Chain A
């Protein structure tokens, strides 16, 4: 048994391929046999992943889900930023450039309105919870943008560490909700073509959320949503500690 666990630890990424493969297989079986194909297999697989990450987090008290369990460390490599970005770029293969330029304007508008809308929501909720200092309000608003914009903004303007932690939590909630919620609302918000997928990516912005949500809805939409989403965090980090912070200070 000890030897087996040693082999697993020494070949982390390979173990991850096996485990994720089994998870995907199981999910497609569940999709077919229990939901008769109504819930997409990849949506179930993503949900299983999140549930596993929750219990792993309770068990290990770590921050990286199942990747904190020694023998499953490879899942963290496979699902880390490097492989995620590599996979996302690969999905752009087969995309027509004309399709992208046609939606360019809507895409750009969506990025800025997405950052603004999420920030406003976060700032309003922060105020209604009794926060009055512009630093905390801005940081929580920035957390609603993404869990990267929150701490970047908070650190830049000198917010307290518990507010920064809150902003990260808000961003993670958003990201996970987008993963789970997108397939459920896709048909209601017209998310069935490259054009609306680009708008969707720009509005949501959380790369992980958009990546997971679109993959579970229709994998062909992934490249369009991911393209705009990858600009969102940068725009958020640009506006958060500057224009947005100054505007909050003018009001508070």
Chain B
């Protein structure tokens, strides 16, 4: 049943966010500490275990894959509901801070990536098993 996969996904998120809130309170922080990340770890662990195979294969798995494929449209909707005017109106200071922070962070990516050895590049996108694959049918992305 499709709903089993969706329910598993939802349960992972709820548990993750709850643990994240608790972690935040424990650390005395007014924020959710890694709730979504914890939810992702939960899903990875559950999907990898033999006992829960029925929940992540067949129709149940389709329920998770559907939401995974809806991710980009959700991000597009997210972009469309950002406060872009505030970013543009923030003036020079906000602009310079934002630009420099991003530049410096970009530059650090190759440096810190050396820790633990560089990863092997993924194969070209058309070999991907992601449901979004059919979108990139023009191959040369």
A residues with a Cβ closer than 8 A to B are 16-17, 20-21, 23-24, 28, 31-32, 36-38, 40-42, 45-54, 56-58, 63-67, 75-76, 78-80, 83-97, 100, 102-106, 109-110, 113-114, 117-118, 121-122, 125-126, 129, 140, 143-145, 148-149, 152, 156, 166, 168-179, 181, 185, 189-196, 199-200, 202-204, 207-208, 211-212, 215, 218-223, 226-231, 233-238
Contact = CB atoms under 8 A, between A and B. Distances in A.
Interface residues of B, number: 93
B81 A76 contact: yes
A95 B75 contact: no
B40 to A, nearest CB: 4
Interface string B5-21: 00001101100110010
B93 to A, nearest CB: 5
A88 B82 contact: no
Contact of A24 (B73, B88, B96, B141): B73
A92 B83 contact: no
Interface of B: 9-10, 12-13, 16-17, 20, 23-24, 27, 29-37, 39-41, 43-45, 47-48, 56, 61, 64-65, 67-68, 70-91, 93-102, 104-110, 112-113, 115-122, 125, 128-130, 132, 135-136, 138-141
A215 B88 contact: no
Given A169-B94, A234-B33, A215 B72 contact: yes
Interface SS, A side: helix
9 contacts: A24-B72, A41-B136, A49-B78, A51-B84, A79-B78, A118-B104, A177-B99, A211-B71, A234-B20
B83 A121 contact: no
Contact of A176 (B30, B82, B141): B82
Contact of B37 (A193, A215, A227): A227
A102 B93 contact: no
B118 to A, nearest CB: 7
Contacts of B70: 87, 90
